[in-house]
Amino acid sequence: MTDIKIIAKNRKARFEYFILETFEAGISLKGSEIKSIRAGQVSLSEAYVRIEEDRQPWLLNAHIAPYDAASHFNHDPKRARRLLLHRKEIDKLFDEVRQKGVTVIPVKIYLKRGLAKIEIALAKGKKSYDKRQEIARRDVERELDRRARIK
């Protein structure tokens, strides 16, 4: 297995959305951004992916903190970053997103063989009753685990 180091996860993604399919994408970064990512200074909590009409995918609203040692050559923390995918993957994402209720969200950022990669997912938003069912299911599992440990 290749050496993968997970840098940041979007923990709310699996709670807020049904994950339909995942893709691995590269990210077009500046030098100070990759240094901040390696330092673990990334947040995906408000990030999302938009596919423009010219079929270019962009990561928007992901916060990569400024790198202290870069001084005045630093980057804008929330700038739009181009995602690098194969054309067939982009076409599939573009076609799926045109359906009602389907979106593309970032799930995690990680380093793979020294390169920053992002896992993005086709997702469908959960309704509030779906979220309540998820919470109830986790509570039942937690209670069963407690009882199993006690015995």
What digits encode the pLDDT tens for the residues 26-50? Answer: 998 888 888 888 888 898 988 889 9
The reported pTM is 0.79
110 forms bridges with which residues in the sheet? 6, 117
Alpha-carbon distance of 20 to 96, in angstroms, equals 10
Range of the domain at 87: 4-126
Query: What pLDDT is stored for residue 70 in this prediction?
Result: 67
Number of domains in the chain: 1
Query: What pLDDT is stored for residue 118 in this prediction?
Result: 95
Query: What pLDDT is stored for residue 2 in this prediction?
Result: 62
State the average pLDDT over residues 87-106: 89
Alpha-carbon distance of 136 to 79, in angstroms, equals 38
149 in a structural domain: no
111 in a structural domain: yes
- Predicted confidence (pLDDT) per residue in 105-146, tens digit: 999 999 998 899 999 999 988 888 778 888 888 899 998 888
Q: Angle at the Cα of 90 (from 22 to 27), degrees rounded to 5?
A: 70
60 in a structural domain: yes
What CATH number did the domain enclosing 51 receive?
A: 2.40.280.10
- Specify whether the CB–CB gap between 126 and 18 falls below 8 A: yes
Query: What pLDDT is stored for residue 58 in this prediction?
Result: 93
Q: Is the pLDDT of residue 1 over 60?
A: no
140 in a structural domain: no
